[in-house]
C-alpha cells in the first residue's frame, strides 16, 4: 500500500477566492499522479494525469503541478465558483500494474 496524503481535509472559501491543496506521495515506485473531481451524486471525473517532474497542467481555472523528486503535487483553483464545490482526489500509480492508490481527498465548499 502506498501512503498518499492530502491536505487539508476540508476547505471553505468565498466565491472569487483562489485556493490550493496538496497531495503528498512516496517518490519511489512512482509512475503517474492523477487528480479527480468528485461532485455529490456524480461519478469521480478525471482532471489531470501527470508523469514527469515539473509537469504543469491546466484546464480553465484549475491547474496542477508535479514534483516527483520531493513527492508532492499541488492543485490550484483560481477565482473559485460555487460549481467548484466537490471533493478533489489524488491518486498515484506505480510503474507496473494497474492499481491506483488514492488519498483521502480534500472537500472544497465555495460559499456564494
Partner 1 sequence: DVKVTQSSRYLVKRTGEKVFLECVQDMDHENMFWYRQDPGLGLRLIYFSYDVKMKEKGDIPEGYSVSREKKERFSLILESASTNQTSMYLCASSSSHDRTLYEQYFGPGTRLTVT
**Rounded Cα distance, 70 and 26, in Å:** 8
**Nearest approach, Cβ of residue 33 and partner 1 (Å):** 12
Q: What are phi and psi of 35, to 5 degrees?
A: -115, 135
CA-wise closest residue to 33 among 11, 1, 59, 55: 55
**Nearest approach, Cβ of residue 82 and partner 1 (Å):** 21
Under rule CB under 8 A, which residues in 8-47 are in contact with partner 1? 9, 31-32, 34, 36, 41-46
1 binds partner 1 (CB under 8 A): yes
Dump the DSSP string for 55-66: -EEEETTEEEEE
94 binds partner 1 (CB under 8 A): no
52 binds partner 1 (CB under 8 A): no
51 binds partner 1 (CB under 8 A): yes
Q: Which is nearer to partner 1, 48 or 110 (CB)?
A: 48
Amino acid at each position: 500500500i502506498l501512503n498518499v496524503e492530502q491536505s487539508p481535509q476540508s476547505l471553505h472559501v468565498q466565491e472569487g477566492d483562489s485556493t490550493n491543496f496538496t497531495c503528498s506521495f512516496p517518490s519511489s515506485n512512482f509512475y503517474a499522479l492523477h487528480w479527480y473531481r468528485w461532485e455529490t451524486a456524480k461519478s469521480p471525473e478525471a482532471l489531470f494525469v501527470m508523469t514527469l517532474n515539473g509537469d504543469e497542467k491546466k484546464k480553465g481555472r484549475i491547474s496542477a503541478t508535479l514534483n516527483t523528486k520531493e513527492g508532492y503535487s499541488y492543485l490550484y483553483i483560481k477565482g473559485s465558483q460555487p460549481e467548484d464545490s466537490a471533493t478533489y482526489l489524488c491518486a498515484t500509480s506505480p510503474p507496473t500494474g494497474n492499481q491506483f492508490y488514492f488519498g483521502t481527498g480534500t472537500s472544497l465548499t465555495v460559499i456564494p
